Amino acid sequence: MSERPAFGRRPEGLSALEKIEALLANPAIYELADLIPTADPTRGGRPRHYPSWMLILWEALLSVFVSARQVEAELAHPLVWQLIRHHSRRHNPHRPDRHLPTQPMRRHHYLYGRRHHLCQPEILAALGQRHRELAAGHARQLGLLDPTGPGSWTHPDLTRML
């Protein structure tokens, strides 16, 4: 028989909403999105429904919810979408191009963006390079990857790796 957590104590782990909030609080989402080129408005065509950072967020949410269909279902919840919209306005008050419309992003928007932007080799290479730099920087801030730490290059100590 399993014990229930004591009153007032929180069970281990994070809720899905807390994971979404953590992703939204990461400035790397916007930095990576800036590597996705925008269309030249003088060439015509329809403007994007959603800013580039939503493609990056969707990719990150795939690791939380496992499938694009589940990400779509989670974003379709009015409270979740309002949270994301509120975050985009609060953290980008002077960048209306990063604000979100009232309707949540759908799976077909993500698939189109992935096919036309995230799968292009030059964009994918730039995103991969910058992601590695950002991840290494985060690891260093956490005290990991210390080049002067114990161990050797071939047998590093656990404090030197992720």
pLDDT in tens, 86-103: 999 998 899 998 999 999
Residues 7-36 have pLDDT tens digits of 566 667 888 889 999 999 999 999 999 999
- Check: CB of residue 99 under 8 Å from CB of residue 108: no
pTM: 0.80
Asked if the structure places residue 42 within a domain, the reply is no
Q: Which residues of 99-114 are buried (b: 16+ CB within 10 A; e: fewer)?
A: ebeeebbbbebbeebe
Residue 152 in this model has a pLDDT that exceeds 90: no
Count of structural domains, the chain: 1
Residue 5 has pLDDT above 60, yes or no: no
**pLDDT value at 125 more than 70:** yes
| Burial (CB count <10 Å: 0-12, 13-18, 19+), residue 121 | exposed
Residue 3 lies in a domain: no
Owning domain of residue 78:
16-35+50-142+156-160
